[in-house]
Amino acid sequence: MENDICFYDAAELASLIRSKKLSAREVLETHLTRIDDVNPQVNAIVTMDAERALADADRADQEITKGNYLGLLHGVPVAHKDLVDTAGMRTTYGSPIYADHVPEKDALIVERLKDAGAISVGKTNTPEFGAGSQTFNKVFGRTLNPYDVTKTCGGSSGGAAVALATGMVALADGSDLGGSLRNPANFCNVVGLRPAVGRVPVRGSSSAWQNLSVQGPMARTVSDIALMLSVIAGPDINSPVALETPGSMFSAPLDKSFSGIRVAWSEDLGGLPIDQEIRQIVRSGASIFADLGCEVTEDVPDFTGADEAFMAWRGWSFGFMEDRLRDQRDQLKDTVIWNIEEGLSQSGRDLSKASELRSALYARVIAFFDHYEYLICPVSQVPPFSVETEWVSEIEGVEMETYMAWAKVCYFISATGLPAISVPAGFTGAGLPVGLQIIGRPRSEFEVLQLAYAFEGLTSYNKNHPNIVG
């Protein structure tokens, strides 16, 4: 029974608590036991306050006895990426510089989850300042893949993906610049959605007008992604790029007929080096969309300029850390130093050129989506690799020019600004998870969720939990 509770959908947990068939405290204690049992083996949750969480669960139960329903996530255990601020709970950003940092205010995404009745369990591990798709840092060490603890869980929302895959929490938040919601979901057999910029507003950012990095939901099922998005999405005056559409739009049923829907698929986004097992799983996934009634065509937009544009704006985003580079260089990892220096070395003309390239890319992609409603492709160019390897340096004989280059299949999509989801799509011969990336038209998260939901319903790969949980 306890193992079952830890793998109930978030919506089911909230329903059982509301109907008094389970108490919020019972649900939380079961998840805390799971954390005690499993977390030492994988290092996913790095900071906790069980006493406060239990007190919050007790208050949730008291409200139910009074007939008060706090929201859609009443009593549901959640965890927060260690890049987002949590009031009164240590938030390190994966950096020794902030090893003892305790914020005074919650980030907006945390506030909205709490306002919906969720119970915050703790913080999930992330690479230093979220830089890289391999979750390790000097503060907490490595997070391990629960399907094979010798392999990476991906990143940068790696701790969140592992916590979900092992049943430590029902929902988790994450963020995505170049793939950080999608890559770890793909490596850990869970679901991660990169929403449109502004769909999940960010409050108090030093780069409030930026339009590349986003925050978003992670869960074990597509329906739970929709549930969480309905809570964390919606307008906020503190964000100048926030979309005005209310989050409630994601509460609608996800069922849809896909007969005649035009879907493009590509196993390499036009020539990227891709592991052969990944290619085969993408091909198999394409056939499943055909089984759903989709008109499936092998096709891909022209991604010329995506690499240059993304890397330039990524560098720009790290330029805000100039003071840390100057004053605390010895506490920064090499790849963070590289990112900052790359950003600081750029000229205004470099960024103008990046803007031109990205604008042209967007125009081509929009023209492509005049013919298709979705694009299907890999989430990652390789399966989960050794946890001892910081980043992939070669794929199918092709040398990677930077520590980010093996993630182009994700960050090319980031450059377009289109919503994209990673949904479980199968396993390698060694039993390692592989996800499929579904990309939709601008601001079409609901439609992306609908297709992912239909794919999940035909495949059920997400129900194959890691052996580490028994």
Per the document, the length of the chain is: 470
Residue 220: CB partners within 8 Å, gap ≥ 6?
7, 9, 164, 165, 170, 190, 191, 462
Q: E-assigned strands of 127-180?
A: 136-137, 141-142, 144-145, 148-152, 171-176
CA–CA separation, 201 and 208 (whole Å) = 10
CA–CA separation, 324 and 318 (whole Å) = 10
Residue 90: CB partners within 8 Å, gap ≥ 6?
47, 100, 101, 102, 123
pTM beyond cutoff 0.85: yes
SS3 39: helix
Helix (H) / strand (E) containing 87: none
Which two structure tokens, joined as six digits, stand for 351?
A: 């960024």
What is the maximum alpha-carbon separation in the chain? 64
Residue 263 near residue 296, CB atoms below 8 Å: yes
Give residue 306's identity as a one-letter amino acid code. A
Count Cβ atoms below 10 Å from residue 304 Cβ, excluding itself: 13
Q: Give the residue numbers marked as catalytic.
A: 81, 156, 180
Q: What pLDDT, on a 0 to 100 scale, did the predictor assign at position 1? A: 47
Residue with the two structure tokens 């068939």: 21
pLDDT tens digits, the chain, 470 residues: what are they? 456 899 999 999 999 999 999 999 999 999 999 999 999 999 999 999 999 999 999 999 999 999 999 999 999 999 999 999 999 999 999 999 999 999 999 999 999 999 999 999 999 999 999 998 999 999 999 999 999 999 999 999 999 999 999 999 999 999 999 999 999 999 999 999 999 999 999 998 888 898 899 999 999 999 999 999 999 999 999 999 999 999 999 999 999 999 999 999 999 999 999 999 999 999 999 999 999 999 999 999 999 999 999 999 999 999 889 999 999 999 999 999 999 999 999 999 999 999 999 999 999 999 999 999 999 999 999 999 999 999 999 999 999 999 999 999 999 999 999 999 999 999 999 999 999 999 999 999 999 999 999 999 999 999 999 999 97
What secondary structure letter does DSSP report for 400?
P
CA–CA separation, 456 and 467 (whole Å) = 21
CA–CA separation, 381 and 394 (whole Å) = 11
Q: What pLDDT, on a 0 to 100 scale, did the predictor assign at position 206? A: 81
CA–CA separation, 315 and 9 (whole Å) = 38
Q: Minimal CA–CA distance to 422: which of 281, 273, 212, 271?
A: 281
Determine whether domain 2-469 maps to CATH 3.90.1300.10. yes
CA–CA separation, 186 and 315 (whole Å) = 25
DSSP for 93-135, written as a single string: TT-GGGTT---SS--HHHHHHHHTT-EEEEEE--SGGG-SSS-
Residue with the two structure tokens 């391999």: 134
C-alpha to C-alpha distances, 246 to 234, 241, 344, nearest whole angstrom: 4, 14, 38
